[in-house]
Amino acid sequence: MSMRTRPVLVYDGDCGFCTRCVQVVERIHANADIVAWQFADLDDLGLTQAEASDAVQWVEPDGTVRGGHEAVAAILMNSGRLWRPFGRAMLLPGVSWLAARVYRLVADNRHRLPGGTPACAMPPEQRPGSSSRAA
């Protein structure tokens, strides 16, 4: 694993909805390097293609990985004072359970959401132009 000084946010670069969400993350100035999983060195990040295509991933400099709603919480907690309480709240007992369900509902239906594309609904190996680039 390489020596990183900042966390890395790994998202699905083939998904229009995910790309729009990353634009929001950039606007709130998350303290992270942001990379589409299709162009990331997944081995170096300690991720598999299945993990990266299933949910957004947050990789800490020490190698700790958080996926799904926990990754979203980490994004918020690393985006300034205004956003930190929302990130912490997402991890509270009861709230975390609900946040996990909402994240999965959104992730499973992202092709139906604004910015979503048909590619969002396809398994990564079936997407146009996909290969085992980062496997």
Q: How high is the pLDDT of residue 112?
A: 80
Confidence of residue 74 (pLDDT cuts 50, 70, 90): very high
d(CA 48, CA 67): 12
The enclosing H or E element of 11 equals: strand 8-11
Instruction: Output the DSSP codes for 27-68.
Output: HTT-SSEEEEGGGS-HHHHT--HHHHHHS-EEE-TTS-EEET
Q: Read off the pLDDT of each residue in 40-60 and give the average, rounded to a whole number.
A: 96
Mean pLDDT of the chain: 86
Q: How high is the pLDDT of residue 54?
A: 92
pLDDT digits over 84-134, tens only?
999 999 999 999 999 999 999 999 888 787 765 555 555 555 544 444 433
Q: How high is the pLDDT of residue 113?
A: 78
Q: Read off the pLDDT of each residue in 37-54 and give the average, rounded to a whole number.
A: 95
